[in-house]
Chain A
C-alpha cells in the first residue's frame, strides 16, 4: 500500500532531551516535507527536501534539523526540545514539484508533548 509512515505517533518528552521523528514513504517521491499544526495557526512548513541531500528551510525551521540521506526517509530531529515545540507534526511527500502539481500525501501525524 502506498503510504507515508511516521514514528512514533505519540511522544511525551522533557525539555532538552534530543528526539527524532522518523518519516518514510514507499512511493519513490522526490519531494518530502515536514509541517507542524497548532490550533489557530493551521499548518506551517518546517523543512522540505526536493531530493536526496537537498533540504531547505520552510517558514518555521528554528529548533529543528532534518536530513535526507535516502530518497524514502526524511527524519525530523529536535536537538533540544522546548515546550513551544509541543505540536502535531506531519510528514508529507510528493512525486514532483514542477507546475502544475504539488499534490502531497500526508502521514498520520505525530503528537508531541514537551514538558
Chain B
C-alpha cells in the first residue's frame, strides 16, 4: 500500500458525460501528479500540482482539467467524454515539487460506452 488513495476504483459512463476522479496523496506529500494509462498510448503524464498550484502540464486534453485543494487532495475532471478516453487513470504523490520519488495510487479504471 503506497498510501495514495483514489476513488472510485471503477467508473462506467457514456459518451458526452462528465466525471470526476479523486486522489488523496500520502500524508505530508505536497505534489500530486496525474497519469493516463491506455493500450495505445501507454503511461502518459497529464498534469502536476504542487501545494495547490499547477506546476507542470503534459499531454492533457482541453476537455480535462484538474485542481488541488487546500487539504492537498486533487480532482481530475474529464468532460465531453469520448470512447478513446477509456483508460486507467493514476494519481501519484511526492514530498516536494522537485524531483522526488513518486508513489502511485491503485488507479481509477474508466470505461466510456
Q: Do A and B bind each other?
A: no
- B residues sitting closer than 8 Å to A (CB atoms) are none
- A residues sitting closer than 8 Å to B (CB atoms) are none
